Amino acid sequence: MKPGAGLLALLLAGLLPGPSAGAQTPATDNPFAAAIDRAGQRVVKLHGAAFGREPGYGSGVLISADGRIVTTLSAMLAGRTLRAVLPDGRVLPAELLMEDEQRHLALLKVAADGLPFFEFDSSAHLTPGDWVISAANPFKVADGPEPVSINVGTFSARAHLAAVHRAQDFPYDGPVLLVDMVVSTPGSAGGALVDADGRLVGLVGRAVTGRRTGTWINHALPVEQVAQFVHGEPYRSAGGDEDATATNRLTALGIRLLDLGGRLRPAYIERVRPASPADIAGLRANDLVVAMNGAAVSSCEDFRRTLRLAAEPDRVTLVIKRGDEMTVVNLPMETSP
């Protein structure tokens, strides 16, 4: 066990909040006690309908005093039996108000008021190595009014999600917070990820595996995405292969990629249109694009996404591999034709 965890276990012994979480006294001699207490009072347990392999339970976070709850989208929300167990132990029916299939989020409501709730803070301050705490109900081990389960770990990195869920590409491909703790467990999704001061930095994400690593991705959706969802802002995908902007920009540059299908196709240039910006800059057929504007490009998919996300007008700086040589090529990006 790591020293931090050992310390935590030591300090938590006898100090964990009892079943009546609302009446608990913060354990002030524990470096995480205030954050844990704050998070525990703002996370609900959800119980709904089980469909096939979808567990009929999950976690959610309170975002208003009048009982609005954000959680991840899942089949269990569809049933008429959806109930939320509040931190004070009350069990209330929950109503589905809004859902977002891209971010995989849902907004629920229970009839209550005067509840403690999370404000939408920021995740921007997180630095790799910072302590983070999850509060959720993995495997629904928290029975009845028992407080949710607390995990302590560290923040790993920011990344864009490229994940698989049940053998299908997971729709959300936006920014996530990678964490060094196990939260890819049934029931954890929708729980709170807070920093060491108890501020909400993210919502624990669905248990998904990495498209390229094949490993579970322990992650949370940044609180900024949660806020955008609640405020009704539609999600803009980081870009798929069908994305028209990328295609238009490639056409404008005069580049046709050797795109044979399949997921991991290297970004070889098949053809350069004569007199196009690419041609003038010296790009040639069979050049392999390995980086754009400082970001590594390992596939056509990467290249299209980077192109799509590039500001406009912008300069495109490509690193290309020709034979064993690496060459830097600067291209003006034209507006879409």
Partner 1 sequence: MTVARIMPVVCVCAATLVSAAGDAGAAGRLRGAQQQVFNAALAAVEPVIVRIETIGGAAPGDTSRAGLGDALRPGQGPATGVICSADGHILTSSFGFLHNPLVIIVTLSDGRCFVARLIARDYPGRLTLLKIDAVGLPEPEWLAAAQLRAGQWALAAGCGHASPRPALSVGVLSAVARLGGRAVQTDVKTSPANYGGPLFDSAGRVIGICVPKAGQGDDEVAGTEWYDSGIGFAIRHDYIQERLPRLKAGEDLHAGFMGLRFAEDWPLVGDPAADAPTVGVRINAVPDGPGRAAGLVAGDIVTHVDGQPIPGLLELRRVLARRAAGDTVELAVRRGAEQTRASVTLARAAELRQEGGPPATPPDPDQPPPG
Positions in the binding site for partner 1 (CB under 8 A): 1-4, 6-7, 10-11, 28-34, 127-131, 153-160, 162, 164, 167, 178, 180, 182, 196, 209-210, 212-217, 264, 266, 288, 290-291, 294-296, 298, 319, 321, 324-326
Q: Which residue, 154 or 251, is less far from partner 1 as judged by CB? A: 154
Q: At CA 120, angle to CA 79 and CA 69, rounded to 5?
A: 15
Supply the minimum distance, in Å, between the C-beta of residue 105 and partner 1.
22
Supply the minimum distance, in Å, between the C-beta of residue 62 and partner 1.
24
Q: Which residue, 48 or 239, is less far from partner 1 as judged by CB? A: 239
Q: How many CB atoms lie within 10 A of CB 332?
A: 13
Q: Which residue, 217 or 220, is less far from partner 1 as judged by CB? A: 217
Q: Which residues, 6 or more positions from 254, have their beta carbon under 8 angstroms from its beta carbon? A: 272, 273, 275, 276, 277, 278, 279, 283
Helix, strand, or coil here: 33? helix
Supply the minimum distance, in Å, between the C-beta of residue 116 and partner 1.
20
Q: Which residue, 28 or 335, is less far from partner 1 as judged by CB? A: 28
C-alpha gyration radius of the chain: 23
Supply the minimum distance, in Å, between the C-beta of residue 246 and partner 1.
18
Q: Counting beta carbons within 10 angstroms of the beta carbon of residue 175, is it exposed (0 to 12), middle (13 to 18) or buried (19 or more)?
A: middle
Supply the minimum distance, in Å, between the C-beta of residue 231 and partner 1.
26
121 backbone dihedrals φ, ψ, rounded to 5°:
-95, -150
Q: Which residue, 29 or 113, is less far from partner 1 as judged by CB? A: 29
Q: Counting beta carbons within 10 angstroms of the beta carbon of residue 167, is it exposed (0 to 12), middle (13 to 18) or buried (19 or more)?
A: exposed
